[in-house]
Amino acid sequence: MNSIAKMTNDLKRLNHKYSHYYGVFFFIGGFLFDLLTLGRVDDTLNILSQFFYLSLCLFFLTAELIPQDSRFKIFSLKKKWHPEATQFCLGALLSAYTIFYFKSASLSNSLLFILFIIALLVINEMKLIKVLDYYLRISLFHICLVTFLFILIPLLTGTLSSGDFALGIALTLIVYLSVLTVYKKLGIAREVILNKFLYPGVFIIAFFNFSYLLNLLPPLPLAIKKISIFHEIIKKDGDYIGRGQYPAWQFWRQGDTPFLADAGEKPYVFISVFAPKGFDGRIIMHWQIYKDGQWKTSDRIPLLIKGGREDGFRGFSFKEKWLPGDWRILVETEDKREIGRLQFEILEDKEQRETTEDYLL
């Protein structure tokens, strides 16, 4: 009995000591669970659930602005729980969008943007602000709205270009105008509309435009699944096979890195890019060499891709004329947003090593 009592007391002490970390543990666990279980970005149920959460957010945020003397004041009777309900909906959206952005981003380019989105998710989920201030909640709503449209438009058009980005911004403004019209009919004061809806929305649009112009905005809904380099790539019975010099179990090499080549050999870069169903567009294989202290373009080779395949569209590019040195290949959209990259060194193969290893890609 004494041992059981001692164990119980020890557990109570541990619980008291680490109880303030439970929120962190549950947050990390929930995020990892979402990362493993969240469906595809083009899943119809995902799209409908996002629209549902956005609609609920807008309803709760609007209800907080309706004046008591309005004939629609019935919608504002439950104001006490509106902030928490909004926070829950925003949490569901931000969790999904953080994962989508993370999968789609090339961290070399989009790290700051991803860290910003993760910070917003942490603030919301960990309740670092006990009940989020209205201005922060409406700003998070605007971010979720713009992200939703940036996902939806390529699903409908089957492309990803500067035109799709502009269309996303235009549709966001149309939504704003529609909401402003409704707000006026609800009797919400002009000053309240401007300060608590329009100005935060304009700021978020400016933020997304700024991120886009600096190539910080991940190219949703595209995502790199795999990228590696080989001495040869062949297609056989619907499969791609890469031939290289290193054993397949050395997975950290991303194929033949460093790339040891003889004169006349060509480096082949294989990619697998996830694209949603109905997507039919181009990506650019941007070959660069490090020369005179900077990266210089050697080739820009377009690849046509078709979406829908679970493991991503597969393709490859090769370089006929090359020099020994540091190289990288950037996988980009037509509007020059980076999906992924591979950096490698090409060295002269003095040992004349054979390409005896086959990789099923």
**Cβ-proximal residues to 148 (8 Å cutoff; 6+ apart), any chain:** 50, 51, 54, 93
Q: Identify the pLDDT of residue 36.
A: 67
Structure tokens at 59: 């309803």
Claim to verify: residue 198 and residue 283 sit in the same structural domain = no
Same domain for 188 and 324, yes or no, is no
Residue 32 domain flag: no
Within-domain flag for 131: yes
State whether 133 and 272 are in the same domain.
Answer: no
Among 180, 213, 246, the domain boundary falls at 213
Give the chain's domain count. 2
- Do 166 and 252 lie in one domain? The reply is no
CA distance linking residue 88 with residue 82, whole number of Å: 10
Name the amino acid, one letter, at 352: Q
Same domain flag for 207 and 281: no
Domain end position, chosen among 146, 179, 213: 213
Same-domain check for residues 102 and 125: yes
| Complete DSSP assignment for 298-330 | EEEEEEEEE---TT-EEEEEE-SS--SEEEEEE
Residues 355 and 235 in one domain: yes
* Same domain assignment for residues 203 and 230: no
Show the domain range for 285: 223-360
Which segments of the chain does DSSP mark as H helices, in order?
2-18, 22-37, 44-63, 82-104, 107-125, 134-157, 162-185, 190-193, 199-213
For residue 125, what pLDDT is reported?
A: 64
Q: Which of 159, 189, 213 is the last residue of a domain?
A: 213
pLDDT of the residue at 72: 60
Same domain, 98 and 49: yes
Q: Note whether residue 28 is domain-resident.
A: no
Q: Is residue 267 part of a domain?
A: yes
Tell me, yes or no, whether 22 lies in a domain.
Answer: no
CATH, residue 243? 2.60.40.1930
* 64-82 b/e (C-beta count within 10 Å ≥ 16 → b): bbbeeeeeeeebbeeeeeb
| Cα 312 from Cα 295, distance rounded (Å) | 28
Question: Which residue bears the tokens 């540091």?
Answer: 326
* 209 and 263 inside one domain: no
Do both 43 and 168 map to the same domain?
A: yes
Residues contacting 199, CB < 8 A, separation 6+:
none
Residues 207 and 353 in one domain: no
For residue 2, tell me if it sits in a domain.
Answer: no
pLDDT of residue 128: 57
How confident is the model at residue 16, as a pLDDT?
A: 62
Residue 20 counted as domain residue: no
161 in a structural domain: yes
Full pLDDT tens readout for the chain, 361 residues? 556 666 666 666 766 666 555 545 555 555 566 666 677 888 898 899 999 999 999 998 988 888 766 666 555 555 666 777 887 888 888 888 988 998 888 877 788 888 888 888 777 666 655 555 788 889 999 999 999 999 999 999 998 989 999 999 999 999 999 999 999 988 888 999 999 999 999 999 999 999 999 989 999 999 999 999 988 898 888 888 888 877 766 666 777 788 888 877 889 999 999 999 888 889 999 999 999 899 999 999 999 998 888 888 999 999 988 889 999 999 999 989 999 999 999 988 777 666 667 777 7
